Each structure stands twice: as C-alpha cells, then as structure tokens.
Amino acid sequence: MNDKRKNPKDQQLEEYRVDDSGKKLTTNHGLKVSDTEHSLKAGDRGPTLMEDFHFREKMTHFDHERIPERIVHARGYGAHGEFEVYESMKEFTKAKFLNDPEVKTPVFVRFSTVAGSRGSGDTVRDARGFATKFYTEEGNYDLVGNNIPVFFIQDAIKFPDLIHAVKPEPHNEMPQAASAHDTFWDFVANNTESAHMVMWAMSDRGIPRSYRMMEGFGVHTYRFVNDKGEAHFVKFHWKPKLGVHSLVWDEAQKIAGKDPDFHRRDLWESIENGDYPEYELGVQLIKEEDEFKYDFDVLDPTKLWPEELVPVKIIGKMTLNRNQDNVFAETEQVAFHPGHVVPGIDFTNDPLLQGRLFSYTDTQLIRLGGPNFHEIPINRPVCPFHNNQRDGYHRTTVNTGQVAYYQNSLQNNEPAPAAEEDGGYVHYQEKVDGNKVRKRSESFEDHYSQAKLFWNSMSDVEQQHIIKAFRFELGKVKSKEVQQQVVNMFSNVCTYLAGEVAKGIGAKVPDHAEGSPEERSSQALSQMNTMKSPATRKLAILAMDGFDYEAVQKVMDTLKASGAMPEIISGSLGSIKSKDGNELDVDNTFLTVDSVLYDAVYVPGGKENVEGLKKEREAVSFIQEAYSHFKAVAASTEGTELFSTIGVDSNEAGIITTDENTKFDSFSEQLLEAITEHRHWNRSI
C-alpha cells in the first residue's frame, strides 16, 4: 500500500474493495457457476427453463442496475485527496480540521456540469459543480459549491422553475446540456435577479479549460463560530494553483464531439501521472456587527463580496492524489449536502441556503433508494456513528442490543447526546423575530450593480467573448419577444453590451437603461490577472519521416523539465525516422486526435517532414485551428515555410519561429513562455 492509500478514509474503503481477478465465478450467494454462456433449456433448440436460477439472477441484476441520475449535476467526476490547514483558525472557528495544521483530512471531490444528462459532453457552456466532502474526525463536512460565486435566484422555492427552464424543453427534449434555447432565456428575462450569474455564465468562466484550472465558491454566506461562541460571516473560495483558464467557444463545441470526456480524462490522467491538482482554500470574513456595513445584503446569494472590500485569507490546501476505484460506487453514489456540517461551521438565513438544507436529503432518498445511504462506503464518516435510527431498505449495520429509543434506563440512556464541550453540535443562537410572510427583503432588490461590476472588471477580450456568447445563445432563441426582452434587460448592465448583442441578433437597440451607474471594477474577477504555469500543458509536435531529431529532442527536454507534456502526432502509429536515421515513437495520429485537445502546436524542420505534412490535410487544419484558437504555434527551420503557405502569420502574437538551429535554446524557451501564456488574444484574426 503506498502513502496516499494510508489515510483513514482509504483504510475504511479497503474493507469494501473486492478484487475478482483469479477467482471462480459464483452466484451472488456464493455457489460456483459451471457455465454462464448458455441458459438452461429443454433440448438444445428448446425453450429456456424457469429453473435456471443463474440466468434469472444475472438478468435481474442487469435489469436493475441503473439508478436515477441526479436531477441537476448529473454528469460528474470524482477524485480522492487530502486537505491541510496552514495555520490554526481557532480564533474564528472551532472546527477541528481547521484548527490543527498537523491534521490531514481525507476528502472526496466531485466536479460536475449542471444542466446535462449523465452522458452529456464535458465542455458545454454551464456552471460547474465543485463539491467537497471532508471526512473529519468530527463527522463529514460537505462544501457543496460551484465555479461561479453567485447564483441565478435568491429563494430556493424558485429552483424547480429555474431548472425546468434550463433543462431540455419537455415537448421535444432538446437541446441537451445547453442554455441556448427559449425557455431558459424566457426565465432570465422574467427573473431579473439572474442578471449577475448570467454574466458569469456567458463569460469564459462557463467554459473552463480543466477542472484543475477553475475556482470553486461556497456561494452562500455561512458562519464560523469559535469556542467562545463568537461568530463571523464567512464565504469560501477554492483557488487552483494552476490559475483560472478557459477554452474558446468554438473549441469547446468541437471538443464536445471529439472527446466528450475531455474534463474527466484530464483529471484522471493528471492524477495517474502524479500531477496532482491543488487548490488553496480561502475565506472572506465579516464580523457579525458589520452585517449592514455594505451596499449589498450579506444574505443575498446573487452578490459576491468584492475582494478589494473583503480580502480572501488563504488558510489551507487540498491536493487530489488518488483516482476513484469505481465510478458508480464512488462518483455516482456519493451524497453531498450543505447541511453536513461540523461544530464551528453554521448557517445563515440566506433563503437559497435554507431551501438547500431540505432538498439534498430529499433527493438522495429517491436517488439512492432509501434512508440508509449514509452506509454506502463513500458516504460513511471515518468517525463512528451511533443513534437509534433503525431498519429501512438496504440496512447493512447490524445494531445489537434490545434498546433503540431515547430516553431509556435499560441502557443508561445510551447512545447519549454530547454536551457542547464534548463536541455536541449546538446551533448558533441567532435571535430571529418577524411575521410569517411570503416576501423577499427589499435589500435583495438591486439586480444590476454587481452584474455591472463584473462587466466593468472584464478586459476587452473578455467583454467580446461575453457579447459573442449572448449572440450565440440568443441567436438560438426562436421567440423575437424573448430576444428583445433579454436585450432590454441587459441594457441595464451596459448599453454597449446590449447594443452589440442586439446588432448580432437583429433586435432593437434599447435606448434607455435602469439602475444606478456602477463605475467600480474588481481585479480578482478577470481571468487576465490569474496565475500562469506551463505544468501539464499539452504540446502537439507534428512530425513525419525526415523530421529534425535534434530540434524535437531539445523542445521535448525543455518542455518536460517545466512539467509540460509534448506528444508526437503523425500520419500513422508506430515510429517515425528522422533525417539522420533516429527513431521516435508516435503517440497519436491526425485521425485519433485534434488540435482542440492540445494547448500548443510545434512543427519541426526537415524538408521531407514538411513535404509530408503539407500532404496531410488534417495536419494543415491542425495548425490553422490552433492558430485561430489563439494558441502558441511554433515552427523551426523548414517548418516555418509551411506557415506562410497555410495562412499563419509569423508576426502575430504567440507565433514562435526560428530559421537556425544554433538559436535553439532561446527558441525552446520562447515556446515555453508562449505556452505558459495560455492564449494570445491580441492576434488580428
């Protein structure tokens, strides 16, 4: 057993793992089976007999092996890891896993899209789920967040309406995993509180490059409570160590066809390769007495806390270091719930959060088939659990003893509730006082200021992407009225944005805007200010027989030393021979992969190589497409000649070329820098 297999959660899972290799086939009841390819028949051409218990068991199990997919976040992918806090957060919370830097808490994370079915593509435009289960010594704590810090609606009772609107339309079940249709935009136009999140969803945040390169947010305001009973409002952030990076829309759509598993493959392969994804945990804290100090309501889930006003304090790190053993057993059966808390973490009256506290257990009862889903291995806490709950479908615990009630004297009142000092969970004693009303607070009424803040914070390129995303989505909407309503609504965010969208979809340019002007911007919201790293970036080296071996080796060495991942792509699998007779193994062919699956392209020299590439139509379009997706594109010596013939302008940003092999060191370094940059937006294409 290696190191990452030694944490308490893993030891617990080990008890449930079964390795079937080298074993004889049996029925579920342990009887050895002599034949599993022929049903029992009355004569070899006769009918199958009822007596065939093996046939019946095999077929019945198969007939029942699907469970309902999640109503939202159906498509997801999980990984195991560990969390450690950097320094004790005792001052703010008594949560033990946040108090001791020595403690490594096992975690299971599930990333997901929201709208699509379980078999839909990974790279669709959508919010991404980022749900983390911390297996702490005080019980499971679930941080069930998204990669967007705000939500579409302010009250949970509207969630069924929102989801009915975004899911495929009921009469024809189209479109799959897409918000680009009438009912979604009709909902938006009639629920203006969605403006802020819609801006995020239309931005590059809606199409992440990788689960390893996106932020996570708890969205709601929670409470930290320390051992003196003092509380702070808290918002949670996950910050990826690789920075926040996105695809371009054309690329995202193509990947959905070329490799619908793009994000799960990326996560799986990184962990298999030992490139463990890392995210730092950050918290924003507001003192209880400062609740009303801001121009937004801290309970409103359509508002973020600008980092310039409330800085993010980085408090720990999560590392995902082990792939799951079985997707159904773990990713599919894991049951998250924002109500799974530990002492020191508490709720607020955010009406979206309050409703979620009901919905998750409710949905799991149907999805996982009864009230014992906490006994499924992936859901079991690593600390013991004891109570008087009994029976129900799929109960596996064998509770011994006569007593299953409280209070009792036959068993001295055990299991007994724990006092607060002994870790008993005591809800924060917030004073609440009010009339029963079906209303929303007036302090939730401002729907546009932060949508404007977001827009103002975008670079020019990011703004253009948002305009194009609106044009695409609304371009797919059939109702002219809905299109116009949406354009009118977003003129309240920015008249330029609304005007550009209107032009693209043939709507009227609105002449007025509501709401107060918002001049502020926030650096933290633009991806242009993110961290950059070449680690795990994939370079496609397009090469045929006769390539320049020395050049390829140099580039591969430089890239590998920085954690980037070069691959040889050629016309067929096997190996290719360089002009001086050296051989290299081919990783993929122009048929099996595509430029959209790589971060950069390099064409080495060698006359015969370049002639060969020219004849491969897919090789040429590989380069052209990488160029049009703003990626680093490089060529050396004879390779550079190819560029001018296929419309790649060597003077553009991120195009790296060299004529001489003697300058190779600096060429490789420049290429590495260009890859690290992620995309070269100021290309005139």
**Start-to-end C-alpha separation, the chain:** 53
Q: 679: annotated binding-site residue?
A: no
The span of 141-149, 391-399, 451-459, 629-637 binding ligand HDE (CB under 6 A) equals 141-149
Q: For ligand HDE, which is the closer residue by CB, 123 or 333?
A: 333
Taking the C-alpha atoms of residue 448 and residue 518, their distance in angstroms, rounded to an integer, is 9
Do strands 538-542 and 600-603 pair parallel, antiparallel, or not at all (unpaired)? parallel
Query: Is there binding between residue 221 and ligand HDE (CB under 6 A)?
Result: no
Query: Is there binding between residue 200 and ligand HDE (CB under 6 A)?
Result: no
Binding ligand HDE (rule: CB under 6 A), the pick from 54, 73, 232, 264 is 73
The span of 52-60, 328-336, 545-553, 658-666 binding ligand HDE (CB under 6 A) equals 328-336
Q: Which two tokens stand for residue 180?
A: 């680009």
Query: Is there binding between residue 336 and ligand HDE (CB under 6 A)?
Result: yes
Q: For ligand HDE, which is the closer residue by CB, 368 or 656?
A: 368
Instruction: Based on the residue annotation, tell me whether 146 is a catalytic residue of this protein.
Output: yes
Q: For ligand HDE, which is the closer residue by CB, 110 or 629?
A: 110
**How far is Cα of residue 240 from the mean position of the Cα atoms in its chain?**
11
CB within 8 Å of 651: residues ≥ 6 apart: none
Cβ-count burial 84-120 (b if 16+ within 10 Å, e if not):
bbeeebeebbbbbbbbbeeebbbbbbbbbbbbbeeeb
**How many residues are there in the chain?**
685
Query: Is there binding between residue 542 and ligand HDE (CB under 6 A)?
Result: no
Binding ligand HDE (rule: CB under 6 A), the pick from 355, 371, 475, 515 is 355
Q: 390: annotated binding-site residue?
A: no
Distance in Å, CB of 450 to ligand HDE, minimum: 16
Q: For ligand HDE, which is the closer residue by CB, 71 or 528?
A: 71
Q: Which two tokens stand for residue 40?
A: 């029992």
DSSP type of residue 575:
E
Binding ligand HDE (rule: CB under 6 A), the pick from 294, 360, 472, 681 is 360
Q: Which two tokens stand for residue 594?
A: 């595509």
Site string for ligand HDE, 7-46 (x = CB under 6 A): ----------------------------------------
Q: For ligand HDE, which is the closer residue by CB, 348 or 595?
A: 348
Q: Which positions from 581 through 620 interact with ligand HDE, judged by CB under 6 A?
A: none
Taking the C-alpha atoms of residue 549 and residue 585, their distance in angstroms, rounded to an integer, is 12
Distance in Å, CB of 447 to ligand HDE, minimum: 17
Query: Is there binding between residue 151 and ligand HDE (CB under 6 A)?
Result: yes
Q: 627: annotated binding-site residue?
A: no
Taking the C-alpha atoms of residue 633 and residue 627, their distance in angstroms, rounded to an integer, is 6
Nearest to 403 by CA among 416, 417, 394: 416
The span of 143-151, 272-280, 536-544, 579-587 binding ligand HDE (CB under 6 A) equals 143-151
Contact status, residue 679 vs residue 248, Cβ threshold 8 Å: yes
Site string for ligand HDE, 419-458 (x = CB under 6 A): ----------------------------------------
Binding ligand HDE (rule: CB under 6 A), the pick from 232, 356, 447, 554 is 356
Query: Is there binding between residue 553 and ligand HDE (CB under 6 A)?
Result: no
Residue 144, SS3 per DSSP? strand
Query: Is there binding between residue 76 and ligand HDE (CB under 6 A)?
Result: yes
CB within 8 Å of 675: residues ≥ 6 apart: 534, 537, 539, 559, 564, 599, 600, 632
Binding ligand HDE (rule: CB under 6 A), the pick from 55, 58, 71, 100 is 71
Taking the C-alpha atoms of residue 542 and residue 638, their distance in angstroms, rounded to an integer, is 13
Q: For ligand HDE, which is the closer residue by CB, 348 or 558?
A: 348
Q: 322: annotated binding-site residue?
A: no
Taking the C-alpha atoms of residue 621 and residue 625, their distance in angstroms, rounded to an integer, is 6
Taking the C-alpha atoms of residue 654 and residue 673, their distance in angstroms, rounded to an integer, is 9
Q: For ligand HDE, which is the closer residue by CB, 145 or 612?
A: 145
Residue of 7, 99, 140, 146 marked active site: 146
Residue 69, SS3 per DSSP? coil
Taking the C-alpha atoms of residue 25 and residue 18, their distance in angstroms, rounded to an integer, is 13
Binding ligand HDE (rule: CB under 6 A), the pick from 115, 197, 213, 219 is 219
Q: Indicate the residue whose CB is closest to ligand HDE.
A: 129
Query: Is there binding between residue 319 and ligand HDE (CB under 6 A)?
Result: no
Binding ligand HDE (rule: CB under 6 A), the pick from 110, 223, 263, 303 is 110
User: Taking the CB of residue 329, how many other CB atoms lie within 10 A of it?
Assistant: 16
Binding ligand HDE (rule: CB under 6 A), the pick from 108, 135, 141, 159 is 159
Contact status, residue 349 vs residue 432, Cβ threshold 8 Å: yes
Taking the C-alpha atoms of residue 379 and residue 131, their distance in angstroms, rounded to an integer, is 13
Nearest to 221 by CA among 151, 274, 326, 133: 151
Q: Which positions from 111 through 130 interact with ligand HDE, judged by CB under 6 A?
A: 112, 129
Binding ligand HDE (rule: CB under 6 A), the pick from 54, 70, 235, 245 is 70
Instruction: Based on the residue annotation, tell me whether 488 is a catalytic residue of this protein.
Output: no
Q: Which two tokens stand for residue 499?
A: 């005007």
Q: Which two tokens stand for residue 278?
A: 């890392």
Binding ligand HDE (rule: CB under 6 A), the pick from 13, 79, 144, 207 is 144
Q: What angle do CA 163, 166, 167 make, to 5 degrees?
A: 80
Annotated binding-site ranges for heme? 70, 110, 159, 356, 360, 367
Catalytically active residues are 73, 146
Binding site for ligand HDE (CB under 6 A): 70-73, 76, 110, 112, 129, 131, 144-146, 151, 156, 159, 219, 334-336, 352, 355-356, 359-360, 363-364
